[in-house]
Amino acid sequence: MKVFRLTSVSIFLFILCIVENYLNTLISLDFGVYIFLISLIYIGTEVFNQNLVLPIFLSGILYDSFFSTYYLGLYTSIFLIVVVLSNLIVSRYSQTNVVHLITISLCLLIYKIPIIVEFDMDYWIASYFISIFVNLFIFLFFKRVTKNYV
Amino acid sequence: MQSSQVVGVRKYVVYFLFIFLSGLLSVVDYFSNKTLSNFIPDQLSLISNFQVSDRLIQNEFSNLTSSRADLIAENIRLKEELTNLRVLYVENQELQDNIDSYKDLIKNISDFELTYYATSLILKNSTDEYLISGGRDYNFEPGDLVINETGYIVGYLGEVFNDYSILESFNSTNFNFRVLDENNNVFEVSSNGKELIFSSLESTLNSKVSNLFSDITFGHIGKFPIINLEPYEQRKLNNKLTVTVPIEEMLTFQSKLFIPKNK
C-alpha cells in the first residue's frame, strides 16, 4: 500500500511537471504559470512531511532524465530546496500574504536558477517579476479553495 | 528550548540527505560524461507514448457491441463508422497540411538530393529549450540542421535521444554557428537569448552583407539560408562587421520543422 501511494504521488507530481511545461509552451507569454512550483510550495507550507521526499526526488530524477539538458540531479535538488525553503519561511514567520510573496519570490528565484545563471538579466527580470504576482495569485486562490473544500 | 530547535532541524534531515544524494548524482553524471542522465531516456521511449494512437480512437466503441441487441449494435456500428470517418477526415486534413508545408519547402530549397524528415515541437522545458520529435530512431545526430517550412535554419540538434531531440534554437545561449555570405566571408553567430549576434571573422569587408548560408565546409549537410542581414544596422568595429538582430519569431506547436539528412 505504501509503495502504491509513493508511486502514485511520484507519477502525479511528474505529470504536474509535464503539464506545467506544456502550458508554458502553449501560452508563450512573457511570464510563466508554474503550477508544479506552486504545488511544491504548497507541500512545503501546508502538507510538509518526510514521506513526500521520495516522490519529489523521483519526479525530479524523471524530469532531469527526460526534459533537462543539465546534469542528473540538478532539478531534483532544486525541487527539494524549494520545499525546504518554503517550509523554513512559514515555520519562522506567520502565514501572511507578504510572507507568501517573499516565499514565492525566493522559490521562483531558485527554480529559475539555470536560466538566471545562463542568460543576461534583461532576458529574465521582467518575466520573473510578472511571474511572481501571477503565481502568487494562483497560489492564494488554490489555498483558499483547499481551505474551503478540504 | 534546545530540544524544540533539534526537532525543527530533524524534520529537514531526510530532505538534506536527498539533496546531498542529488548533488552526488550530478557529480557522477559530470564525470561519466552524462552517461547517467542519458540512461533512462535511452532505455525508455516515453516521449512518443504521449500521443494517443489513432487505433485506440477508432476502436473506442467496438468492445461495447458484443452483448447488445441488434438495434443497439447497429447503432454502435454506425457510430463507429462515423468515428472512422472523423478519424479519416482529421488524417486527411493533417496530410493536406503536410502537403502544403512541403510545397512551401520545395519552393525554397535547392538541394533535392537530401531527405527532409518532418519534425515538430513536443514542449519547451523550464530552461526555455525546445524538445522536438524524432531522435536516434531517424538516425538524427547532434549538429544536424533544423529548418522551417520556408527553408530557413531555425537551429541545430544539441542532444539526441531515442525518440526525441533537444534543439539548440536562436534563443539558446549555447547557440554557436558558422555561416558564409554570398562572397564566402565567414561569420560567427551567437545568441544572448533575445538577440542574435553576427560577427565577421574577416577584416576586409567593404560591401553590405545580405544573405547568410550554412555550408558543408563547417560540417553542415548543405547550403541553407539563415537570415538576410540587409534590413539591419551593420556596424564596423576594428574592420570587423557586427550585426545584432532581435529574435522575434518563437517556435509553436504549429511550426513545421524539417531535418535534412543524406539519402
pLDDT tens digits, A10-63: 999 999 998 898 888 877 777 889 999 999 999 999 888 888 999 999 999 999
Closest CB from B18, B159, B253 relative to A53: B18
Note which residues in 219-258 of chain B have CB less than 8 A from chain A. 250, 252-253
- Crossing angle of helices A2-27 and A53-66, rounded to 10°: 40
pLDDT digits (tens, 9 = 90+) for B117-149: 888 888 888 878 899 988 888 889 999 999 988
Number of neighbours of residue A143 by Cβ within 10 angstroms: 17
Provide mean pLDDT across the span A66-90. Answer: 91
Residue B221, pLDDT score: 86
Q: Do B46 and A66 touch (CB under 8 A)?
A: yes
Closest CB from B26, B37, B121 relative to A65: B37
- Strand residues in B37-185 grouped as ranges (E): 114-119, 121-124, 130-133, 145-148, 153-160, 164-169, 176-181
Q: Do B123 and A84 touch (CB under 8 A)?
A: no
Burial B144-169 (b: 16+ CB within 10 A, else e): bbbbbbebebbbbbbbbbbbbbbbbb
Considering only CA atoms, give the Rg of chain A. Answer: 15
Q: A148 CA to chain B: closest CA distance, Å?
A: 28
Phi, psi (degrees; rounded to nearest 5) at A67: -115, -5
Q: Check residue B201 and report its DSSP letter.
A: S
**B173 CB near a chain A CB, below 8 Å?**
yes
B chain contacts of residue A73, beta-carbon cutoff 8 Å? 21-26, 29
For chain A, give the number of residues.
150
Closest CB from A48, A57, A87 relative to B18: A57
Residue B68, pLDDT score: 54
Residue A89, pLDDT score: 92
Residue B4, pLDDT score: 56
Listed residue (A67, A69, A78) closest to B34, CA to CA? A69
Question: Given pLDDT bands bounded at 50, 70 and 90, which one contains residue B156?
Answer: very high
Q: Under a CB-based contact definition with an 8 Å cutoff, are residues A50 and B14 in contact?
A: yes
A chain contacts of residue B29, beta-carbon cutoff 8 Å? 71-73
Respond yes or no on whether ipTM tops 0.85. Answer: yes
A with B: how many residue pairs have Cβ under 8 Å apart? Answer: 118
Q: Under a CB-based contact definition with an 8 Å cutoff, are residues B79 and B58 in contact?
A: no
What's the mean per-residue pLDDT of chain B? Answer: 81
Measure the CA–CA gap between A17 and B33, rounded to whole angstroms.
26
Do the bridges between strand B257-262 and strand B145-148 make them parallel or antiparallel, or are there none, so unpaired? antiparallel
Measure the CA–CA gap between B208 and B229, rounded to whole angstroms.
9
For chain A, how are helix, strand and coil distributed in percent, rounded to 5? Answer: 80, 0, 20
Q: Do A73 and B166 touch (CB under 8 A)?
A: no
A chain contacts of residue B252, beta-carbon cutoff 8 Å? 25, 28
CATH match of B114-262 with 2.40.10.340: yes
Closest CB from B15, B40, B124 relative to A84: B15
Q: Do A84 and B16 touch (CB under 8 A)?
A: yes
Return the domain boundaries, chain B. Answer: 114-262
For residue A138, the SS3 value is helix
Beta-ladder partners of B228: B211
pLDDT digits (tens, 9 = 90+) for B28-80: 988 888 888 888 887 777 666 655 445 544 444 444 444 556 777 777 788 88
Dmax over CA atoms of chain B, in Å, equals 86
Which chain A residue has its CA at the smallest distance from B131's CA?
Answer: A67
Percent of chain B surpassing pLDDT 90: 13
